[in-house]
């Protein structure tokens, strides 16, 4: 049976941020309006689109299950790992097997790439590429005198290039392996929220540092797989993960997988990064004026993920 409502942020992940005592209810903050939805929402009804993972099979039929089933297997394993991580005192390090680290790395890479923020951008880029190539073909045929009479400027102006949505899924899978490898090999630090505080999630839950300084003081843009990029993601309402450029061998061995207890200000700073990254919605276990103030502060922001992508197939 086709999965009509397919999540780009897993329900299992969102349940790690639900209201205390509730399995599926969560508060939704809207970045565009600067408001909180009047009542809690079910995680089953957020961060999803109909037929979002549909692809054409060999017979030309739309298959909506294969890709989602693949994602589900990875996210189920990753979320079980996240649930089992025990909060340790400041400075203590958690034991995480190589296999579990690999699973979490792939899960995080796919989570960065499967959201509309990335997929819509890829489809738009492919569309522009097709339009440029089409214009070049027309210009060449016009110059050679081979352009059919019906292909007028008015005719071309009415053309609307539509990309099939699965073209962006191809990019997701091609890029995910490189991104997962970069994440896996960096230095991981677990962050615990201040007492009485909590972390939040969003419809684009992973923040990454987009630029890095160079000697002359200018800024250059880097992607999330760059060795010097930094990523932060709230794993659950009491635990976040900071993925940093790999330290030297001795420092990496000393600090990798270690816990840091945050104060109220730094907990807020982690939430602020999640809010900046969000496309439109932020999700929280609580309804607070302080969080609403942060959401309103970043109403115009949205972290755009830009990754080199393969050209569309011809």
Q: Are strands 187-192 and 258-261 parallel, antiparallel or unpaired?
A: parallel
pLDDT of residue 56: 86
* pLDDT interval class at 314 (50, 70, 90): very low
Average pLDDT for 290-298: 96
Count CB-CB contacts under 10 A for residue 128. 12
SS3 188: strand
Query: At residue 215, does pLDDT exceed 70?
Result: no
pLDDT of residue 111: 97
**Contact indicator for 275, 202 with CB cutoff of 8 Å:** yes
Q: What percent of the chain has pLDDT over 90?
A: 65
* pLDDT interval class at 93 (50, 70, 90): very high
**Contact indicator for 272, 313 with CB cutoff of 8 Å:** no
Average pLDDT for 30-40: 96
More confident residue, 265 or 132: 265
3-state secondary structure 17-39: HCCCCCCCEEEEEECCCCEECCC
Average pLDDT for 214-222: 66
* pLDDT interval class at 294 (50, 70, 90): very high
SS3 158: helix
| 308, burial (CB in 10 Å: exposed 0-12, middle 13-18, buried 19+) | exposed
Query: At residue 312, does pLDDT exceed 60?
Result: no
Joined tokens for residue 231: 């990523």
Q: Round to whole Å and give the CA distance between 169 and 63.
A: 13
Query: At residue 216, does pLDDT exceed 60?
Result: yes
* pLDDT interval class at 213 (50, 70, 90): low
Query: At residue 313, does pLDDT exceed 70?
Result: no
* pLDDT interval class at 157 (50, 70, 90): low
Mean pLDDT (the chain) is: 88
The pTM for the full model equals 0.86
> Which region, left, alpha or beta, applies to residue 40 given φ > 0 means left and ψ of -120 to 50 means alpha?
beta
Q: Which long-range contacts (CB under 8 A, 24 or more apart) does 195-198 make?
A: 196/264, 197/262, 197/264, 197/267, 197/268, 198/237, 198/238, 198/267, 198/284, 198/285, 198/286
Query: At residue 207, does pLDDT exceed 80?
Result: yes
Interval 127-156: pLDDT, tens: 777 767 777 777 777 778 777 776 666 656
Query: At residue 308, does pLDDT exceed 70?
Result: no
* pLDDT interval class at 16 (50, 70, 90): very high
Joined tokens for residue 123: 């489809």
* pLDDT interval class at 305 (50, 70, 90): low
pLDDT of residue 214: 60
């Amino acid at each position: 049976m086709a999965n009509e409502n397919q999540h780009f942020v897993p329900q299992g992940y969102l349940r790690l941020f639900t209201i205390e005592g509730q399995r599926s209810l969560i508060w939704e903050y809207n970045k565009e309006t600067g408001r909180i939805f009047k009542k809690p929402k079910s995680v089953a009804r957020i961060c999803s689109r109909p037929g979002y993972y549909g692809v054409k099979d060999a017979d030309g039929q739309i298959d909506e299950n294969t890709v989602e089933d693949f994602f589900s297997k990875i996210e189920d394993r990753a979320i079980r790992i996240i649930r089992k991580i025990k909060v340790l005192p400041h400075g203590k390090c958690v034991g995480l097997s190589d296999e579990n680290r690999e699973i979490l790395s792939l899960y995080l890479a796919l989570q960065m790439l499967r959201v509309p923020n990335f997929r819509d951008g890829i489809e738009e880029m492919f569309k522009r590429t097709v339009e440029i190539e089409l214009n070049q073909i027309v210009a060449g045929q016009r110059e050679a005198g081979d352009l059919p009479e019906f292909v007028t400027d008015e005719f071309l102006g009415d053309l609307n290039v539509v990309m099939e949505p699965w073209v962006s899924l191809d990019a997701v899978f091609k890029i995910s392996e490189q991104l997962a490898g970069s994440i896996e090999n960096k230095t991981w630090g677990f962050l615990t929220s201040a007492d009485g505080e909590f972390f939040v999630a969003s419809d684009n839950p992973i923040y990454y540092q987009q630029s890095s300084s160079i000697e002359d003081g200018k800024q250059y843009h880097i992607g999330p797989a760059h060795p010097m990029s930094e990523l932060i993601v709230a794993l659950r309402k009491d635990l976040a993960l900071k993925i940093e450029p790999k330290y030297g061998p001795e420092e990496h061995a000393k600090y990798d997988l270690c816990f840091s207890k945050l104060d109220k200000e730094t907990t807020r700073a982690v939430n602020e990064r999640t809010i900046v990254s969000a496309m439109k919605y932020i999700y929280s276990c609580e309804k607070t004026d302080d969080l609403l103030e942060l959401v309103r502060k970043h109403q115009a922001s949205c972290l755009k993920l830009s990754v080199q992508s393969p050209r569309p197939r011809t």
